[in-house]
Structure formats: structure tokens, C-alpha cells
């Protein structure tokens, strides 16, 4: 069952299409090539929020749907919730 979506395998994050609980192993769909990927959630991720697909150091760029959406304000681990508490948007 698909729990998150990514546009491209190079995206830093996937977007949850259901609520995800910490500890769950979840499957995501990669639109680019119709493949699937799995990741273990290390935190709760609400519907519509982002799950980290790769480790990201503080100050590095997050890519969602093949677009730079901002920079991290702290280190992020695979499976972690990515949102305003650890990401500064590229918009402002």
C-alpha cells in the first residue's frame, strides 16, 4: 500500500498520503519511473507532511517534487518528519 509519493528518485523527501506512525515501515511510489521505495519512519508524519528519504545535514537543500523547497536548520535522519521545525522555506 502506498503511504507516500515522490516525483523523482533524487527527491530528499516524500509526501505522506496517509498518517504515518513512528516505527512503521512504509512504502512509497516514485512517479518518475513507477517504482516503489521503503523507509522506516522514525517520527510520526501527518498526512500531507514530508518524510526524509536521505540523511541531510543542517544548511543543506531539501528537494520535493524535483524542486528546491528550502534548507534544513538542523541535521535530519532518514525517516524523520520534515516540516517547519527543521526546514526554512526557500520562499522567504
Sketch out the chain's domains with CATH numbers.
2-89 (2.30.130.110)
**What per-residue confidence (pLDDT) applies to 89?**
87
Strand ranges inside the chain, DSSP E: 2-6, 13-16, 25-30, 35-40, 50-52, 61-64, 67-72, 81-82, 87-89
Handedness of CA 23, 15, 66, 73 (dihedral sign): negative
Closest CA to 76 of 67, 92, 49, 34: 49
**What per-residue confidence (pLDDT) applies to 70?**
93
CA distances from 45 to 53, 60, 80 (A): 13, 21, 8
Q: Is the model's pTM score more than 0.85?
A: yes
Give tens-digit pLDDT for 25-78: 999 999 999 999 999 999 999 999 999 999 999 999 999 988 899 999 999 999
Amino acid at each position: 500500500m502506498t503511504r507516500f509519493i515522490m516525483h523523482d528518485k533524487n527527491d530528499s523527501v516524500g509526501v505522506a498520503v496517509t498518517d504515518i506512525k513512528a516505527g512503521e515501515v512504509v512504502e512509497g511510489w516514485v512517479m518518475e519511473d513507477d517504482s516503489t521505495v521503503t523507509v522506516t519512519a522514525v517520527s510520526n508524519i501527518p498526512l500531507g507532511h514530508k518524510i526524509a528519504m536521505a540523511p541531510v545535514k543542517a544548511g543543506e537543500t531539501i528537494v520535493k517534487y524535483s524542486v528546491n523547497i528550502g534548507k534544513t536548520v538542523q541535521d535530519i535522519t532518514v525517516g524523520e518528519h520534515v516540516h517547519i521545525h527543521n526546514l526554512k522555506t526557500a520562499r522567504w
